Amino acid sequence: MAAEAHSTATLRLSVGDLRIVHPITVPTGPVPAADVVPALQELVNAVVAAAEAGKAISCRKGCGACCRQLVPISRTEGEALVALVEAMPKEQRKALRARFAAAEARIAGAGLADRAGRSDRELSIAYFALGVACPFLEDESCSIHRDRPLVCREYLVTSPAELCAAGPAQEGVTPVPVPKLSLAARRLQDETDDWFPLAMLMAGSRTRPTGGKRRPGTEWVQRFLKGLKN
């Protein structure tokens, strides 16, 4: 089978105070939106590297305090993550599915499965208070570090690590001001600014719409860039 053709372009972006020059490579032909997620991850990596330059970052491997927060995920990233889980070896997939089922049960049991009637802040505080670890967290480290969501890449702190675990109000925690490109991913397929909690990935995969549009990779990138301006 012939290798899939790819197109490369140099993006010149102004995001916040940052000026980013970044080569981006995407499939040339029509693909699902999830197929451009790796390219968006590289772009976010470049933005994060520029934002954290010269700062003393406290985040370390083995500190998973922030992985008990509500992690908002776009439909497109959700599709890429479900595909990632489906491609894992059987035993790993089974263990992961069990952790997702346990997390979903605790979230539903606390009445947090339905976002209706709550502000995002109220929901975030309630989630953190519940202390449900992200199912991808293993030994306090991210087991999908290379494929972790955009919003996880964008969260770094310069304050002492112990403050991150101190309480839902996150008093004294100083995040690095990283422009949130992850927000644009939410509008990639749909015009609405929709998201779901990462811990509900598997539960949602049974009910979320499937069979999204296929577009050339460059068109997905253009839609993403347009989403940055909204």
- Which residues lie near ligand SF4 (CB under 6 A)? 67, 71, 134, 136-137, 142, 144, 148-149, 152
Of 81 and 221, which has the nearer Cβ to ligand SF4?
Answer: 81
Q: How far is the CB of 68 from ligand SF4 (least distance, A)?
A: 8
Q: How far is the CB of 149 from ligand SF4 (least distance, A)?
A: 6
What is the distance between the alpha carbons of residues 35 and 215, in angstroms, rounded to a whole number? 10
Of 144 and 225, which has the nearer Cβ to ligand SF4?
Answer: 144
Q: How far is the CB of 188 from ligand SF4 (least distance, A)?
A: 19
Q: How far is the CB of 176 from ligand SF4 (least distance, A)?
A: 15
Sequence letter at residue 30: P
**Helix or strand run (H / E) with residue 91:** helix 90-109
Q: How far is the CB of 170 from ligand SF4 (least distance, A)?
A: 15
Of 96 and 221, which has the nearer Cβ to ligand SF4?
Answer: 96
What is the distance between the alpha carbons of residues 137 and 149, in angstroms, rounded to a whole number? 13
Q: How far is the CB of 187 from ligand SF4 (least distance, A)?
A: 21
Of 67 and 112, which has the nearer Cβ to ligand SF4?
Answer: 67
Q: Are 173 and 163 in contact (CB under 8 A)?
A: yes
Of 100 and 136, which has the nearer Cβ to ligand SF4?
Answer: 136
End-to-end CA distance of the chain: 40
C-alpha R_g of the chain: 18
Of 15 and 84, which has the nearer Cβ to ligand SF4?
Answer: 84
Q: Are 112 and 6 in contact (CB under 8 A)?
A: no
What is the distance between the alpha carbons of residues 68 and 168, in angstroms, rounded to a whole number? 10
The helix, strand and coil proportions of the chain, stated in percent and rounded to the nearest 5, come to 45, 15, 40
Spell out where 94-220 has E strands.
137-138, 141-142, 196-197, 214-216
Among 186, 199, 185, 220, which residue's Cα sits nearest to residue 29?
A: 220
